[in-house]
Amino acid sequence: MRVTLPSRDRLLEACTGSTPITHPVLRAARDLAHLHRQRREATTEIHEIDCARADLIHTIDCWVAANMPQPFGAAYMNSESVGMIIDRIAQYCIEAHTTLTESTTEPDRHFLWQRLAELTLAYTDLAIELTAGLRKLPSCTYRHPTTSGRAP
């Protein structure tokens, strides 16, 4: 059985909490979205929230490194890890959904929803390329000492 990354639809459902979580990447995406929701309202706990986000990004990147096939030698390098991309998707998902209940200008609302759509399309392309071995990821599978308190 071939292991794959979740689809963008499942990822968005996880970020909104509207799907049962059956995949470790979806669990991390749900938790990232929850942290972004907390960060919008936080005043003093921002550093702790960002450290928790860094740990979840690391968790996703470790899962990808362990489960995706090795890329071909001539595969193109991606500039961000999958965890970084999912973190931004979670952020924009929370921001875009917030525009539905808060007073937001139409251009701002449009920008957030368009950016979310573009990020999820880019995620889908990346997932396909990773599965086919056509894309390499940066080595982000170590914890940064400032986020976990441990040396790499």
Nearest to 48 by CA among 35, 59, 57: 35
Residue with tokens 């990821």: 137
Q: What pLDDT band is residue 28 in, cutting at 50, 70 and 90? A: very high
pLDDT band at 106 (very low <50, low <70, confident <90, very high): very high
* Predicted pLDDT of residue 149: 45
The pLDDT assigned to 42 comes to 80
pLDDT-derived band at 35, boundaries 50, 70, 90: very high
- Residue 98 CA to residue 130 CA, distance in Å, equals 32
Are the C-beta atoms of residues 143 and 58 closer than 8 Å to each other?
yes
- Dist. CA 97–CA 101, nearest whole Å: 7
Evaluate the CA torsion angle 148, 140, 22, 88 in order and state its sign.
positive
CA–CA separation, 26 and 35 (whole Å): 14
DSSP one-letter code for 74: T
Distance CA 136, CA 1 (A): 22
Is the per-residue pLDDT at 66 higher than 80? yes
Tell me the chain's radius of gyration from C-alpha atoms. 16
Contacts of 119 (CB under 8 A, 6+ apart): 85, 88, 89, 92
